[in-house]
Amino acid sequence: MDNSFFSPFLLSLKLAVITTVLLFVIGLPIAYFLAYRQFRLKIVLQSLISMPLVLPPSVLGFYLLVAFSPEHWLGKTLNDFFSVQLVFSFAGILVASLIFNFPFMINALQTGFSSVPESLREASYTLGKSEFITLWKIILPNMRPAIITGLCITFAHTIGEFGVILMIGGNIPDKTRVASIAIYDEVQALNFDKANEYALFLFVFSFLMLLLVYSINKDYHRWKKF
């Protein structure tokens, strides 16, 4: 196998790592807010966050393509004032990936926050601990499985993205040609052996990621019984 074979995987890995890290940083305070705050439009906000779960990737990709294009005010503003072109660029597929994977991270973290007993938080506040210290010392350690699940699922889902990436980034080698696009490209060229190599690699990788999530959660719950 030459370097061109691994290039899409390296690009997918780069995209997945950056997306996962950014979504964790962005998602943690949002999930905390959704888990512990009540407000009138909360259900509306949660519905908007979860939209990528039910929208076909092509629909989301189409609207992002329109928004990022130089003819649209958003794309034109980014291009004219910041010299940023999101269409057919790595920056573009990164933004699309952040939006598309947002609910996977948020829902996992919100479930984790909600699973921490209220009594633990109240005891910490009673002892005079601040909200930040309570979060760092009490809440986060007790929701470790949810954090790991959010990180792993977001990472694995980003690795396998196709529709949104194709709409925004196209198929540019070393720039937007991630592993899933490479599979599509090889199938279009009737090169099924090469497509099978890409697909098998992604299949094994996705299985190992899920195996890791379930194994960690199982061990954590077993430890909690003692």
Give the rounded distance of the alpha carbon of 136 from its chain centre.
23
Rounded to whole angstroms, the Cα distance separating 217 from 159 reads: 22
The mean pLDDT value for 150-160 works out to 90
DSSP assignment, residue 116?
Answer: S
**pLDDT-based confidence at residue 221 (cuts at 50, 70, 90):** low
Q: Quote the pTM value.
A: 0.88
- DSSP string of 152-209? HHHHHHHHT--HHHHHHH-S-TTTT--HHHHHHHHHHTT-HHHHHHHHHHHHHHHHHH
* Spatial distance between the Cα atoms of 186 and 139, rounded to a whole number of angstroms: 47
- Residue 193 phi/psi, 5° resolution? -65, -45
Model pLDDT, residue 2: 57
What DSSP line would sit under 68-88, residue for residue?
Answer: HSTTSHHHHHHHHHH----TT
Q: Residue 101's pLDDT band (boundaries 50, 70, 90)?
A: very high
Query: Residue 145: is its pLDDT beyond 90?
Result: no
* Torsions phi, psi for 189 (to 5 deg): -90, 5
Fold held by 3-38+55-220: MetI-like fold (1.10.3720)
CB crowding 184-201: b at 16 or more within 10 Å, else e: bbbeeeeeeebbebbbeb
Angle between helices 57-68 and 90-115 (to 10 degrees): 130
- pLDDT, tens only, 29-78: 999 999 999 888 899 999 999 999 998 898 999 999 999 988 888 988 98
Domain locations in the chain as residue ranges: 3-38+55-220
Residue 35 CB neighbours (<10 A): 17
